[in-house]
């Protein structure tokens, strides 16, 4: 998606036909992303990070607006009390301080392979905990 957006920007003044083609590709990719696990939240996060890139203040403002928007969308759910234990997507605002600490440089140690193990392992642990507490 980033590639197609950048292509639209690059060709907009010189080759309108090519830029319109890539704009259509971008729209199709955006619509297709609604049918992924991340749904509209993932697409909104993409937009926040794309337009906030390189400017921590703009990123923070866009990210906070997104989190507040998600919170109010979830308030309209039939069971509003579920916002505290089921629909907790609004809690992603807690990640903002960690994102702001990133300095844009690769760290001293590569933890890439640790996360290949950690991510599925933590999902299994959460699953077993949910089964245990039923």
Res 77: pLDDT: 63
- Looking at every residue in the chain, the average pLDDT score rounds to 82
Q: Where are the domains of the chain?
A: 34-109
The dihedral through the CA atoms of 81, 121, 100, 62 has a sign that is negative
Report how far residue 22's alpha carbon sits from residue 42's, in angstroms, rounded to the nearest whole number.
Answer: 21
Note whether 133 and 101 are within 8 A (CB).
Answer: no
Q: What are the structure tokens assigned to 59, written together?
A: 């990123």
Higher pLDDT pick, 21 / 122 = 122
Is the confidence at residue 63, as pLDDT, over 90?
yes
Higher pLDDT pick, 77 / 89 = 89
Q: Reduced to 3 states, what is the DSSP secondary structure of residue 85?
A: coil
Res 103: pLDDT: 83
Per-residue pLDDT reduced to its tens digit, 36-62: 877 888 888 888 998 898 899 999 999
Q: Which residue has the tokens 């991340």?
A: 38
């Amino acid at each position: 998606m980033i590639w197609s957006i950048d292509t639209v920007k690059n060709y907009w003044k010189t080759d309108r036909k090519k830029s319109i083609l890539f704009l259509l590709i971008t729209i199709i990719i955006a619509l297709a992303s609604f049918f992924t696990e991340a749904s509209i939240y993932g697409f909104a996060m993409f937009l926040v990070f794309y337009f906030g890139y390189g400017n921590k203040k703009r990123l923070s403002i866009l990210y906070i607006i997104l989190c507040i928007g998600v919170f109010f969308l979830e308030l309209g759910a039939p069971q509003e009390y579920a916002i505290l234990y089921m629909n907790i997507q609004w809690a992603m605002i807690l990640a903002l301080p960690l994102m702001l600490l990133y300095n844009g440089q690769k760290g001293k140690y590569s933890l890439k392979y640790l996360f290949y193990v950690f991510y599925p392992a933590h999902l299994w642990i959460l699953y077993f905990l949910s089964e245990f507490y039923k």
